[in-house]
C-alpha cells in the first residue's frame, strides 16, 4: 500500500513513452454523512477487512483518488477519477505534468511542453510543437503504458507489498476507521467502520505520501472520448 508504489509507474511510463518517440492530500477534508451504525469490519481479521474494502471500492463503480508521494527527492501528485473501467487523471511531477485518459479501453495521454523537452531527447522541442495541446493515442497493447491504467483497478490500488496486520480503531477527517498496516514498510490503510467499508486514506510511515479516496458513486462527465481533431496517434510520432 506504499503510496510511491502507486504513483511512480505513472511517471516512469510517461518517460518511456517520451523516449520512444489543491494537489497536496495531507490537509484534504470532506464532509462525512451523518454517522450510521458500525459496519462490523473492525471485528474482522486484517485480510478480511482488506477484502471488504476492495469489494466496496469495486461496488461503488466510481471514485476519486487524490494525493502525493515523494520518491528520490521528487514530489509527485495525482488527481485521478475512475468510473467503471474508464478514468481520467492528472499527474504532476514537479517540473512537468501529464494527463491520462482511458475511455472504452482506449488509452490516451497529454503532456505539457516541459515534459516533452525534458524527456523527448534532441527531438523534445519538436515533439512539443508537433503534439501541442492534443491527446496522444496509445495502443491498448502498449505494455509501457499499461501500468498507468491499473490505477483504476481496486485490486491493484489496494494491493499490499507484504503481509497486512490489523491496527487500532481511530478517527480521521472522513470519520471512524480501522487501521491496516503493511508490514513490509509500515504504510497504513484506513478503512471506514461505518457505512460502506470504503478505503478512505493510505499513508506512508513518514506521512510524506498520502492518497485520499472520495467521490464514491459520483459521476464524472469529463471522462469522455476526445474529438478526433484533438488526437494524434502515437505511432505517427
The string of pLDDT tens digits covering residues 204-235 is: 888 778 999 999 999 999 999 999 999 998 77
* Confidence grade of residue 15 (pLDDT, cut at 50, 70, 90): very low
Residue 222: φ, ψ to 5°: -70, -10
- Entry pTM: 0.82
Which of 219, 165, 215 shows the shortest CA–CA distance to 187? 165
What is the β-pairing status of strands 97-103 and 199-203?
unpaired
- What's the chain's average pLDDT? 84
| Mean pLDDT confidence for 126-133 | 90
Q: Which CATH architecture has domain 3-232?
A: Clam (2.50)
pLDDT in tens, 23-70: 233 444 444 445 567 999 999 999 999 999 999 999 999 999 999 887
Could you state, in order of their start, the residue ranges of all structural domains in the chain? Answer: 3-232
Residues 6 or more apart in contact with residue 171 via CB below 8 angstroms: 177
Amino acid at each position: 500500500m506504499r503510496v510511491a508504489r502507486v504513483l511512480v509507474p505513472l511517471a516512469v511510463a510517461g518517460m518511456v513513452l517520451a523516449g520512444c518517440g489543491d494537489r497536496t492530500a495531507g490537509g484534504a477534508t470532506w464532509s462525512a454523512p451523518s454517522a450510521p451504525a458500525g459496519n462490523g469490519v473492525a471485528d474482522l481479521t486484517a485480510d478480511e477487512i482488506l477484502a471488504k474494502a476492495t469489494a466496496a471500492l469495486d461496488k461503488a463503480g466510481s471514485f476519486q483518488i487524490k494525493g502525493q508521494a515523494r520518491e528520490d527527492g521528487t514530489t509527485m501528485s495525482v488527481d485521478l477519477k475512475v468510473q467503471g473501467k474508464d478514468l481520467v487523471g492528472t499527474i504532476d511531477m514537479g517540473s512537468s505534468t501529464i494527463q491520462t485518459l482511458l475511455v472504452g479501453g482506449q488509452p490516451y495521454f497529454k503532456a505539457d511542453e516541459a515534459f516533452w523537452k525534458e524527456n523527448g531527447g534532441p527531438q523534445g522541442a519538436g515533439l512539443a510543437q508537433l503534439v501541442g495541446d492534443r491527446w496522444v493515442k496509445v495502443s491498448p497493447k502498449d505494455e509501457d503504458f499499461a501500468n498507468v491504467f491499473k490505477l483504476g483497478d481496486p485490486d491493484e490500488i489496494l494491493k499490499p507489498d507484504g503481509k497486512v496486520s490489523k491496527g487500532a480503531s481511530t478517527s480521521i477527517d472522513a470519520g471512524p476507521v480501522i487501521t491496516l498496516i503493511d508490514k513490509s514498510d509500515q504504510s497504513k490503510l484506513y478503512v471506514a467502520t461505518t457505512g460502506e467499508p470504503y478505503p478512505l486514506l493510505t499513508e506512508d510511515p513518514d506521512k510524506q505520501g498520502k492518497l485520499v479516496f472520495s467521490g464514491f458513486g459520483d459521476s464524472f462527465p469529463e471522462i469522455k472520448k476526445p474529438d478526433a481533431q484533438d488526437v494524434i496517434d502515437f505511432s505517427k510520432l
